[in-house]
Structure 1
Amino acid sequence: MSHQLSNNISIHKEMKVLIVLAHAEPKSLTTTLHNITVEELEKLGHEVKPSDLYAMKWKATIDADDFPEFDKKERLDILTESGKAYSQGKLSHDILEEQAKLQWADMVIFQFPMYWFTIPAILKGWFERVYSMEFGCGVG
């Protein structure tokens, strides 16, 4: 089955779509477009998982709490600890959930407004925490 999304893009099979939404206002244009996107993709037979960062109360800062096994008396080296925690499956629960969604998805859509010519801090924090060393970040 083929679905035409625009003049140049078509999806030929049912897909699993992760949509990461980063807007604090549920009545915003961005959130409205997000809701329409979910509705239209589902009408076309695609499976959609949204990650509404504000509704999830997503923690935007990466710190020692992201690595439950880390000895907080030691100096924190984010890259080393994130790689170690990822390889041992010992990242914080919220990070593991988002990584599982990325592994599940055939396609990822990021929906957000532009704040000061860049993405919202909460979304940047999502990238920093979810793309840990060895998962979307690093050599190899």
Structure 2
Amino acid sequence: MTIPSPRTALLVYAHPEPTSFAAALRERAEHELTRAGWTVEVSDLYADGFNPVAGPGDFTAPSDPRRLHVQREQSHAASRGTLAPDLLREVERLERADLLVFLTPLWWFGLPAILKGWVDRVFVFGRVYGNGLTFETGPLRGKQAMLALTTGGPESSYSEGGAHGELDVLLHSVHHGMFRFTGMDALDPFVAWGAGWADDATRTAYLDAFGKRLAALASTDSEAA
């Protein structure tokens, strides 16, 4: 009998306030996945002081120090092992993970700048995508990815005809352009609607629902491993 190897989850958490509801979702995710026997790694972007700006500092031995071409330098560094230490740490966390979860508020109809910057730097050309390897042939195929979101508005405002438009449309750049583009399976998002204005009972219900979703996912993946 072959014993399945432990599964690994990477939680990328992007909120500057430790008492936010996004933080509560992160804590529940750590609890549920750890209880299911998973190894859980957390990238707490604000607490870690993560630099979201791609630049010359991403590469310890650039191929062309006179002019920065980010994709070319990423490919050069990926093939030679010359990514900056903070960037390499995040890339290796991503590569180890069977499940990637972004835990974040929805700001200005998209990801906070620090989380978008994490993608800009960590989705390295020549390692996470590129050279013809995208979508079905993407280097991250076999992994799953999901968003755990908090919103400022109610669910009705993110529906067809709602003030903000359909949530699936707003999230297309993440689900299709980040997750699926690199080969990952984009799971349905978990959304805590209007979390900042919700009462305690509603917040508790959100946390319980999120916990059950993760527990079911962890159980299903463990059985399939």
Structure-2 residue corresponding to 1:53: 45
RMSD of aligned C-alpha atoms?
A: 1.7
Give yes or no for the alignment of 1:74 onto 2:82: no
Identity %: 36
Offset of residue 27 of structure 1? 0.4
The residue type equivalent to 1:68 in the other structure is T
Give yes or no for the alignment of 1:39 onto 2:26: no
Structure-2 residue corresponding to 1:5: none
Structure 1: runs of 5 or more not aligned: 1-11
Offset of residue 73 of structure 1? 4.7
Contact 1:17/1:109 (CA < 8 Å) preserved in 2?
yes
Contact 1:21/1:50 (CA < 8 Å) preserved in 2?
yes
Aligned to 1:109, the other structure's residue is in SS state: strand
Offset of residue 114 of structure 1? 0.6
Contact 2:14/2:45 (CA < 8 Å) preserved in 1?
yes
Which of the pair has more CA radius of gyration? 2
Q: Distance in 2 between matches of 1:106 and 1:71?
A: 32
Structure 2: runs of 5 or more not aligned: 134-225
Aligned to 1:57, the other structure's residue is in SS state: coil
List, as ranges, runs of 4+ consecutive aligned residues in structure 1 with deviation greater than 3 Å: none
Aligned to 1:23, the other structure's residue is in SS state: coil
Q: TM-score, normalised by structure 2?
A: 0.54
Q: TM-score, normalised by structure 1?
A: 0.86
